[in-house]
Amino acid sequence: MREAIGVSPARARARAWTRAAAAAGVVLLVAGCGGGSGEGTGTPAPPPGTTAPAGAGAGAQAAGGLDVAAVSREIAAAATAAGFTEEPSDDVPPALRSCMVSWQVDDEKAADSRKSYDDTVAALAEGGWKRSPTIDRKGAVITSLDKSGWTVKAGHHSQDGFLVVSFIATDNGPGCQKLFQEDLEKNKNAR
């Protein structure tokens, strides 16, 4: 059926892996590998006893920070300037759309994906995103960037002819962290 509508089985598998990679990125962020506490993100955690700002997350536009639309624009501008084309997806659950951006690269249109990945990360850093050290292991490259209460996990995974490049951003504010936790619990209980 997929071949009849122009999607090869290999392409369908790649899309499924892309969705799995995006979901794994959210789990890592919520579990404390780059979001929530502020630890390791360049964003300090709020002092004990303080209240959270109004709105879904700490990066609310009203507080002078970024909102989901601004983060999406910044990622799209950096990635397309570096030569990437977006592959639209619906990976972000509706309840998390104000807290998360998932920008997936159309791997079939990526000429030199690693150079474009590096150029995208560099452009984000030039745009004020604070870059953490890059992890580069066995075909998987992951870079974290932080700005105004948001964390972008940039990933380039290339192994055995399989390519997934994604830029997943999450709002680290307490309101969004609560929504991420609720989504995890809902999905855990649905199994």
Query: Could you give the dihedral angle defined by the CA atoms of residues 19, 20, 23 and 24, in that order, rounded to the nearest 10 degrees?
Result: -150
Is it the case that residue 48 has pLDDT exceeding 50?
no
Give the per-residue pLDDT at 64.
Answer: 54
Rg of the Cα trace of the chain?
17
**b/e per residue, 174-187, with b = 16+ CB within 10 A?**
bbbbebbeebeeee
Is it the case that residue 12 has pLDDT exceeding 80?
no
Of residues 25 and 74, the one with the higher pLDDT is 74
Q: How far is Cα 76 from Cα 123, in angstroms, rounded to an integer?
A: 11
- Residue 22: pLDDT band (50, 70, 90) is very low
Q: What is the mean pLDDT of residues 150-168?
A: 94
Of residues 137 and 61, the one with the higher pLDDT is 137
Q: Give residue 70's identity as a one-letter amino acid code.
A: A
Is it the case that residue 184 has pLDDT exceeding 80?
yes
Of residues 39 and 75, the one with the higher pLDDT is 75
Is it the case that residue 140 has pLDDT exceeding 70?
yes
pLDDT digits over 83-109, tens only?
999 998 877 889 999 999 999 999 999
Q: How far is Cα 93 from Cα 74, in angstroms, rounded to an integer?
A: 21
Mean pLDDT, the chain, rounded, equals: 75
